[in-house]
Amino acid sequence: MKKPILSYCKHLFAGASVLLLLALLLTACSSNGASASSSLNMVGRVRSDAPQAPLSQSTLGPQACPGKTNNLSYWDNIIRTSGDAKVESVSCAKFMTSPGLQALVLVRHHSTGSIADVYVYAKILSHKPARIFKLSGLLHGKAKISVYNTVLTAQAQNSSTLVPDLFREFKWSDGAGAFEQTVFPGMFPDMTRYQAEADQAEVNQGHQPWKLDALDTTKSALGLFKRDWNNPVTLVSGGGLHDAHAVVRVEAYPQGSGAFAILVKLSRLEGNTHGGIWEIVAVQGNRMSLTAPVNGALLTSPTIVKGSAPLFEAEAGVVEILDSHNTRIGSAIATGSPFSVRVSYSSSFHGGAQEGIVSLYYQSGANTPFMVKVLLGA
């Protein structure tokens, strides 16, 4: 009697094992399916709570648009352009960490002063691509993809300007689930990435070679610092042919006075140590500081500026706000140290924010600035 019972138990155990294995396989498949569906839903909602992953060199910059997405007529149908509005260009890149490429589409309205609209679409090979960005009404507008996979736009600020003179940059934010305007770190010779990439192309063709020299670039910026051309300029560190960074010291007087020295920090555009132009990214006057606003902050007028500097007749210096053309659009006297001063400015651009600089100039014998790069809201 024991043998049949033992045999029965063995068969029962084997059957249970098979059922358990099938259950585990079904659970795994269900989990994988849910994960894939969740990723697709994130693309559809154009939102991802995952941190932005670093992109590899192979995914930086414009990429070839796949299949039908390379055709202008395809995007005319998607956007439903009409009248004189036509898709002028399309380019693709990996703006997001989601699978696949996204498309930057430029639509031109030819009968209304050459106005352009800028679109970015995700899920570009699907039946219904998802629009994730739109910027309308750019007079003489242009748009392109940067080497850093950001959207660069150019436009004229008013109808009297025939060429673009305002440049903006937008970067995808996983946290916000949207494109946000961002700040190019450079202050000179370029205020924006759009201008810097254009400058790099010019230098690559043999023009303006001084932008390949850290000392020459600093000397060319002495006017921005309100310094005289004969101020001694010396290299402190870096600045070599294949260096990515440089620090340059600017003295106040020909004989060299350390009391009013400026440290200027430069970086190669896009970290290119094989022919990248130099961009000034920080200007720090001796014994001076600005603690507010911080680099990259979005300001509205009036704004509060805080900092410290040696006092001269109870004044820490003059705070100036410069627009994207280095034009002063606001100023105030800072008294005491540390100080907090309210500064009003009048932006020349009212359709959004433009890149600019907040400067503190200490004025005792020679201008010594401390500069911070910001976004200036209207």
What number of other Cβ atoms are within 10 A of residue 173's Cβ?
14
- The answer to whether residues 311 and 263 belong to one domain is no
CA 338 to chain centre: 31
Residue 49 lies in a domain: no
Closest CA to 70 of 27, 112, 36, 101: 101
Q: Are residues 282 and 292 in the same domain?
A: no
Same domain, 301 and 271: no
One domain, residues 256 and 314:
no
**Residue (of 325, 281, 373, 356) closest to 164 by Cα position:** 325
In-domain check, residue 17 = no
Q: Is residue 114 part of a domain?
A: yes
Q: Answer for the pair 115, 77: CB distance below 8 angstroms, yes or no.
A: no
Number of domains in the chain: 3
Closest CA to 325 of 184, 189, 146: 189
- Can you tell me the distance from the alpha carbon of 272 to that of 268, in angstroms, rounded to the nearest whole number? 6
Q: Alpha-carbon distance 221 to 225, whole Å? A: 7
Looking at the fold, whether 329 and 367 belong to one and the same domain comes out as: yes
What tens-digit pLDDT sequence spans the chain (378 residues)?
334 433 433 333 334 343 333 333 333 333 333 322 222 222 222 232 223 334 455 588 999 999 999 999 999 999 999 989 999 999 999 999 888 999 999 999 988 778 999 999 999 999 999 999 999 999 999 999 999 999 999 999 887 778 899 999 999 999 999 999 999 999 999 999 999 999 999 999 999 999 999 999 999 999 999 988 888 999 999 999 999 999 999 988 766 555 678 999 999 999 999 999 999 999 999 889 999 999 999 999 999 999 999 998 899 999 999 999 999 999 999 999 999 999 999 998 988 999 999 999 987 667 889 999 999 998
The answer to whether residues 129 and 224 belong to one domain is: no
> Does some domain include residue 270?
yes
Q: Any idea what the Cα angle at residue 12 is, between residues 8 and 17, rounded to 5°?
A: 150
**Residue ending a domain, choose from 264, 286, 308:** 286
> Which of 286, 312, 327 delimits the end of a domain?
286
pLDDT at 35: 29
Same domain, 376 and 302: yes
CB half-sphere exposure, 193, CA atoms < 13 A? 21
Q: Do 158 and 240 sit in the same domain of this protein?
A: no
Distances in whole angstroms, Cα of residue 208 to Cα of each of 217, 278, 348: 10, 12, 29
Bridge partners, residue 263, by sequence = 249, 284
Domain that holds residue 373: 288-378
The distance in angstroms from the start CA to the end CA of the chain is 94
**3-class state of residue 232 by DSSP:** coil
Biggest CA pair distance of the chain: 113
Q: Which of 42, 91, 87 is nearest to 69 (CA)?
A: 91
Question: Are 323 and 303 part of one and the same domain?
Answer: yes
* 149 and 254 part of one domain: no
CATH number at residue 310: 2.60.40.10
156 and 242 belong to one structural domain = no
Phi, psi of 319 (to 5 degrees): -95, 130
Residue 10's pLDDT is what? Answer: 39
Q: Which pLDDT value is given to residue 321? A: 98
Length of the chain: 378
- Name 281's Cβ contacts closer than 8 Å, sequence gap at least 6: 185, 186, 187, 265, 266, 267, 373
Can you name the residues that pair with 247 across neighbouring β-strands? 237, 265
- The answer to whether position 227 is within a domain reads yes
**Residue that finishes a domain, picked among 233, 268, 286:** 286
Which value, in Å, is the radius of gyration of the alpha carbons in the chain? 28
Task: Identify which of 27, 21, 23, 44 has the alpha carbon closest to the alpha carbon of residue 98.
Answer: 44
Please give the DSSP secondary-structure letter assigned to residue 295.
T
